[in-house]
Amino acid sequence: MAKGVAVAAVAVGAVALLRRASLRWGASDGEVRMALPGDDLLPEPDLQATRAISIAATPAEVWPWIAQLGQNRGGFYSYDWLENLVGVDVRTADRVVPDLQVRAVGDAVNLAPEVALEVAAIEPERHLVLRGAVAVDGTSAGAPYDFTWAFVLLHRFDGSTRLVVRERYAYLTGWAAALVEPVEMVSFLMTERMLRGIRDRAERTASLPTV
């Protein structure tokens, strides 16, 4: 009995550590605490994830890849095959396509053919903030939570870029956590791959030397 309790305690501890690590993959303590664009939209989130990556390219060279995120645009630079298993129908671009770029607040960034986020804030070469989840016909998608997804480009002293991505969830129902918490681990896997995908594409044609 005691052995079983000990094993269970270790398992719970391991899961807790893994969850904590996944919610801040690549981010420094300062970046986790840092106020970012979009935070004011959900000032008291029930769940927050802050992840980051260094890119040997200028913010101007990274930005076009951020600006064409979306199922209806340049994809998510992640695991297309996995997303397509659930009918997302996404194709990740390996080049910058001007016609696919978001331009203004209110533009739609699709997660799937029938579900989109909306551009809530945008400052080229600095940040892109997406919010909500609505059906492409403009009606509510029925999500039990409000959501923001911020992509922030921080200029570094050597000209390179620190890309910080933050997800915030505000639960609207008592059972929202039961949906969001398990999905967040999948989100971590997809986001980690997405950050690497953006980095690799931006560095491929960057003016700065990779390290």
More confident residue, 83 or 62: 62
Specify the pLDDT at position 143.
Answer: 83
Question: 161-171 and 108-112: which strand pairing?
Answer: unpaired
Over the stretch 155-181, which tens digit does the pLDDT of each residue have? 999 999 999 999 999 999 999 999 999
Which sequence spans correspond to the domains of the chain?
2-204
Strands 145-155 and 161-171: antiparallel
Tell whether the model's pLDDT for residue 47 goes beyond 50: yes
Q: How far apart are CA 10 and CA 21, in angstroms?
A: 16
**pLDDT, the chain, mean:** 86
Cβ burial, residue 151 (10 Å; 0-12/13-18/19+): buried
Model confidence pLDDT, tens digit, residues 98-110: 999 999 999 999 9
Give the residue from 64, 65, 56 showing the smallest Cα distance to 158: 56
Determine the pLDDT at residue 85.
Answer: 59
Structure confidence at residue 46 (pLDDT):
96
- Measured CA to CA, the distance from residue 127 to residue 162 in angstroms comes to 12
Determine the pLDDT at residue 82. 67
Q: Which helix (H) or strand (E) holds 176?
A: helix 176-204
DSSP state letter for 140: B
Quickly state the pLDDT bin for 12 (edges 50, 70, 90).
Answer: very low
Residue 8, pLDDT above cutoff 50: no
Q: If one looks up domain 2-204 in CATH, what number appears?
A: 3.30.530.20
Confirm if 134 and 116 have CB atoms less than 8 A apart. Answer: yes
Q: CA-CA distances (angstroms) from residue 5 to 10, 28, 151?
A: 9, 34, 42
* pLDDT value of position 84: 64
Q: What is the mean pLDDT of residues 132-158?
A: 80
Percent of the chain's residues with pLDDT above 90: 68
Q: Which residue has the tokens 């209806």?
A: 72
The per-residue pLDDT for 20 is 64
What does the pLDDT read at residue 4? 43
